[in-house]
Each structure stands twice: as structure tokens, then as C-alpha cells.
Amino acid sequence: MGGIDDSVLTGLREAGARFEREELADLLAGIAAAPPAPPGHDPLAWTALVAPRAPAALRRRLAELVAGFGAGDDGLGRTGTDPDRLAALRAELSRRGLDGVLVPRGDEHQGETVPRRAERLAWLTGFTGSAGMAVVLAARAALFVDGRYTLQAAGEVDAALIEVVPLMETPPEAWLERHLAAGARIGFDPWLHTEDEAGRLRRSAAKAGAELVALDGNPVDAIWIGQPPPPIAPVVAHPAAYAGEGSAEKRRRVRAVLAEAGADALLLTRPDALAWLLNIRGADVPFTPLALGFAIARVGGPVTLFMDRRKFVPGLDEWLGPEVAVEAPAALGPALDALGAGRARVLADPATAPAWAFARLGAAGARLVEGPDPTLRMKARKNPVELAGMRAAHRRDGAAMARFLAWLAREAPKGEITEIAAARAIEAERAKDPLFRGPSFATIAGAGPNGAIVHYRVSERSNRRLDPGTPFLVDSGGQYLDATTDVTRTIAVGAPTDEMRARFTRVLKGHIALATLVFPEGTLGAQIDAVARQFLWQAGLDFEHGTGHGVGCYLGVHEGPQSISKLYRKAPIEEGMVVSDEPGSYKAGAYGIRIENLLAVRAIEGIPGAERSMLGFEVLTLVPVDLALIERELLAPAEVAWLNAYHARVRSEVGPLLDPETAAWLARATRPI
């Protein structure tokens, strides 16, 4: 790269880091492809990957170089659908003798947040949502999105070029069955689809007499000029004080599960599984501290981690220890071949691992043991140290939210605050915490009608003022070294109407009903989801999202395997899991209401006469519920008692962390009703 002059290379050499020019250029391009450091973070932390001992001036010079890469147009800045890109893709398909191609939003790891390099769907269609898939045929193209994103997709995508299809009405499988011509060859990148998904799509294509062809090389990559390289962000140790269990012990538990399942090896393709198993954290994607990579765990031996070593901060090799071998990502294929050659029984999860891995293992002769990745369940059940971290972080997070809400209570009536200003204020309050590592997702700050858009993401264009008379919905969370938080509150701005209060109170009743539910071990989330909806149902209302998702510990704000929603998932709610409790009510074009706390699942002991092992919840989130939106007459005495006890707890646990002015606000906000 032209920007790297000799003085940089010389400076690095003097700081003990020897680089070829091209080698440095590659490294800096990878660093530029990682998300920027969040507020409150050292924006130059990544320089440790280049030269840990570089003097300040050299660091600044490196930052300029990285910024230069970032400024280079990677094509993701454009809004709307670019017809030239669609045309280029079709030309590429034609070159390869294909009649169409699938372009999913996912990456090789099926993560919810993906690196810029993997934003193929956004680059191609203009759709920026976190889930979706396009099917591009010669004469037509369709974008499949779920209920959260139908409105957003319609606004972002040129309907003349790409039809937006709500997948609840027409799943891609049904569409393919209907629209593929017999004999058509449709390409797909087997790295980007799970084995299960590829199987479903393949069967649908077959019903139409068409064929799904696994491609060697993604056709979007072939035409995307300026596509970023894989991200390079520091991978750091996640110490025992936060993790609560050493990696060696976790690996021992995984080996025991493999032995029990009769498997010789486990293929790990989810970066959150790697992070948990190896007690490491990264920064390759926004909002979740993931270090992208793969791993193979063996029943009788070491773990091999397939990860770009350039991401390791100094000392990480020692942290991983001698029983974790590190190889380049490209070595994964040959490693699977070796497993196959040894006729190994390999446990791989068809719901999360790419079709590519199954094909490779199968071709190599491995004996596949299909089953859920056992680390997901282990990770979901937090240990006592993680739960202690969750509790501690929620007290501090509650203090940040209290300062934000007190500020909002002061400022909102003036009618000047915008959604963007509110979102920034929350992040700024959280960033005061030394353990804060950034927001856990893009803050949803929806005033009035924007609050009714479930996955609203404020932009300069959509930004609204918080108008008196409409509630303000704010859903935000933080990544802390000791926990991940996620909290939604709906705040009255001015006087709410009776309808708003009635809806809010019904949402609150459902929230309380779930938080206080006692249920037997083995219960699935889909079995208790209605508990949070029942009072809305009474009023002819419902909400089009799940009631609760799993939450990681300084990991993904959305994690499985558990889920409390209408969708059936086989994984039961188990002790130690953390889930959200977030019923809502959305009046399209008017306002939205949601109340979300995180809950830790705990055993309920000591019920007289109990015949079953029962579970219940401990509330983690400590943030006041806006009393101005409550219609007390609609609450049962037990619900009033719950709210008053919760608010007393918020006051006693968060109050001591606050300045006197905020503490006074908190005392008022949590007064008994």
C-alpha cells in the first residue's frame, strides 16, 4: 500500500516489530475491516497486534493508515439497491452456468452480527436488517425477511428490482418450489448455510425439478469490488474472575459429553462457543466480543483452534496453554479430511454448522454424529461466578439507566430531546463504567410511532423528537467484562392516554406473571410464552416477537439454545440460564410499549408438599418501571406487591451507587403505589 512508507517500517522495527510492507498492509486492512472501538474503549487497542511497544507517534501514524483503509469505499455506504451490482451478479452466474443464486445474510458462523466482509446481502440489495435471504434468478429476484423487517426492507430495497417477500407467508422453500424451472441450477455458498437449511432448500428445489449446486467460491465475492478482508481485532484472555471456570475444566466436560455420545471429535463453528470454551474474547464484529474462528475438540486429546494468529494479543498463546493447538483458518479443511481418513465419529450440529463442513467430512469418510453443539447448553447455564458478575453488572447498569432516566425526566418535558440524543445519553452513562466494553446491540430509541417498529434503529432521517403525549420506548444494553445487559423501558413523555396506560399495565401484568412463574424442570420456553401474553390476549392484543431470549455473559445478547416464544425449540429452560422477559404492545403509527428485564433461572426449593423439582426466576435488571403509565386498578394485589418489592430492591441496590440528585429521583420513581 502506497501509504506505508519506509519510516513506518523502520519505526516498527525499532519498536521490535519486523514487517514486510505487504504483510503490514494486509494486517492493517484486516484491522480496518473490524468494527471501530466502542465509546469508552481505547480506540488504539489494536496497535497491540502491530507493535505492543510502539511509541505514541507511531501509533498515531498506524491509526492514520488504518483510517485510510476505512475511508476506501467498500460499497457498504450506499443506500438502496444498486442495479449494476445485480447485473454484475447475473453476469457472474451466467459465466458459471447457473440460473440463480442464494444470497443469505449469514456468515460462516451463522452469527447474528457479521463482519463487514460478510454483509453481502446489504451490499447486493440495500437491505440492512440482521436476518434475511435473497434469491436472484435471471429474470427476477426476491428478498425474504421476517415480520420484524418487512417495513424496513420495503423502505430500503428497490421493489422494481427485488420483490420483498414476508417469509411467514411465503418461506423461501415454498417460493423456490413455485418459481424454479425444472432443470434449473441454483448456486449456493455452502459456507453460509447450515446443513439443516441447505437440506430444506435442496429438497424444495428438487420438488420443482431444479438442483441446488454447492459453489466453490462465493459469486458475490467475485464481483464485490472493495470487499473488506476478514477482520483482525485483538483476541484477549477472559480471566477466571469473570469466567468462573477454567478452560481446561470446560474442555474436560466437553470430552465427557463426547465420550457419552460415542463421538471422537466435536466440530465447533460458533465463535461464541469458542469464546466460552477457551475463555477468550475478541472484537471482530459489532456488539458481541467474538473472535471469529473454528475449532475441533477431541475426546482423547487437545483442541485445535483455527484462527488467524495475527489477532492474538501478546501472551494469548500462554493463556490458551499447551493443550490448545492453533492453526490457520485454511487448515480446517485438511483437518476434517484427516478426521475422515481416521474414520472418526465427528459430532457436528446440523442446525448451526455450515453445509460445507458436512460435505467435507462426509467426502473424507468421517462418521457423522449429528446433534446439538453441547457447548451451547453448557454456556447457557451460567456458573456462580458468572451469575455474581451478572448481578454486579446489573447494579451498575441500573445506576447508568437511573442517571439516564433522571436526565430524561428533567429534559424530555422541554421538547428538545431527539431519539439520537437519548441513545447517545444512554451510551455515555454506561461508558462511565470501567468494565464497560460497548453497547450489546444498537440502541432502540423509538419516540411515538417509531416505538411501534419492533426493531427500530434510529437514523438521521427517521430521528424524532420525544413529543409530549407519546411514550418513548428505549431498549438498550451493555457489554461489561463481567456481564451482558439488555433492558427496555417505556417512559411517559407528558400525560399518557387511558389507552396507553391500559396497554402498558397489561404488558406489565404479563411481565410480572412470567417473572413470578414457577415451573417444573424440563419445561420448554414455548410452553410458558403465553404466560406473558395472556392479559394482552384478553384485550384482543398480541405482539409479534418472542417473549424472551437467552443472554450471554460478556457474550451474545441473544443466545440459545433456550428461547421463550411461540416457536418450538427443544431446549428446556434450565437452572443458571439467563433469559429476557419482554412482552410488548405496539400500536402501528402511534406508539410502542415494551418492558424488559433479564431473569436468571434458579431452583425453587422448600415448597411444602412439592413433588417435582421446580424452577423459577431471579430478576437481574434493576431499573424503575414508569409509574405514570400504570393503571393501578388493573393490577391484582399480588402484582402491586411485586412491583413495590421490585422497586424497593432497585432503590436499595442501585441507590447507593448514585449521586444525591439521581438518588432523589430514584426514590420518587420507585415509591410504593
306: number of CA atoms within 13 Å, CB side? 18
Could you tell me which stretch among 300-308, 408-416, 449-457, 539-547 binds a copy of itself (CB under 8 A)? Answer: 539-547
84: number of CA atoms within 13 Å, CB side? 5
499 binds a copy of itself (CB under 8 A): yes
Three cell numbers written together for 171: 418461506
Could you tell me which stretch among 155-163, 348-356, 424-432, 533-541 binds a copy of itself (CB under 8 A)? Answer: 533-541
DSSP state of 611: -
338 binds a copy of itself (CB under 8 A): no
Size of the chain, expressed as the number of residues it contains: 673
Residue 377: left (phi > 0), alpha (psi -120 to 50), or beta?
Answer: alpha
Residues 553-572 that bind a copy of itself (CB under 8 A): 566, 568
Could you tell me which stretch among 242-250, 463-471, 531-539, 573-581 binds a copy of itself (CB under 8 A)? Answer: 531-539
Spatial strand order in the sheet of 265-268: 324-327, 303-306, 294-298, 265-268, 345-348, 367-370
Closer CB to a copy of itself, residue 420 or residue 541?
Answer: 541
Count of residues of this chain found to bind a copy of itself when the rule CB under 8 A is applied: 30
Could you tell me which stretch among 18-26, 63-71, 237-245, 538-546 binds a copy of itself (CB under 8 A)? Answer: 538-546
What whole-number distance in Å separates Cα of residue 248 and Cα of residue 259?
16
What whole-number distance in Å separates Cα of residue 39 and Cα of residue 633?
43
CB 273 within 8 A of CB 373: yes
539 binds a copy of itself (CB under 8 A): yes
x/- mask, a copy of itself, residues 505-524, rule CB under 8 A, reads ------------xxxx--xx
DSSP string of 103-148? EES--TT--SS--GGGTHHHHHH----SS-EEEEESS-EEEEE-TT
CB 613 within 8 A of CB 632: no
What whole-number distance in Å separates Cα of residue 304 and Cα of residue 594?
43
Closer CB to a copy of itself, residue 614 or residue 657?
Answer: 614
322 binds a copy of itself (CB under 8 A): no
Closer CB to a copy of itself, residue 317 or residue 542?
Answer: 542
Smallest separation, CB 612 to a copy of itself (Å): 5
633 binds a copy of itself (CB under 8 A): no
610 binds a copy of itself (CB under 8 A): yes
Closer CB to a copy of itself, residue 77 or residue 540?
Answer: 540
541 binds a copy of itself (CB under 8 A): yes
641 binds a copy of itself (CB under 8 A): no
634 binds a copy of itself (CB under 8 A): no
Could you tell me which stretch among 407-415, 484-492, 529-537, 550-558 binds a copy of itself (CB under 8 A)? Answer: 529-537
Closer CB to a copy of itself, residue 209 or residue 217?
Answer: 209
Q: Work out the burial of residue 22: count CB atoms within 10 Å of its CB; fewer than 13 is exposed, 13-18 middle, 19 or more buried.
A: exposed
Q: Which of 363, 607, 648, 673 binds a copy of itself (CB under 8 A)?
A: 607
Residues 6+ apart with CB under 8 A from 188: 101, 102, 198, 201, 212, 213, 214, 215
CB 104 within 8 A of CB 133: yes
Any bridge partners for residue 278, and if so which? none
542 binds a copy of itself (CB under 8 A): yes
Closer CB to a copy of itself, residue 91 or residue 537?
Answer: 537
Question: Which chain residues interact with a copy of itself by CB under 8 A?
Answer: 499, 517-520, 523-524, 526-531, 534, 537-542, 566, 568, 604, 607, 609-612, 614, 636
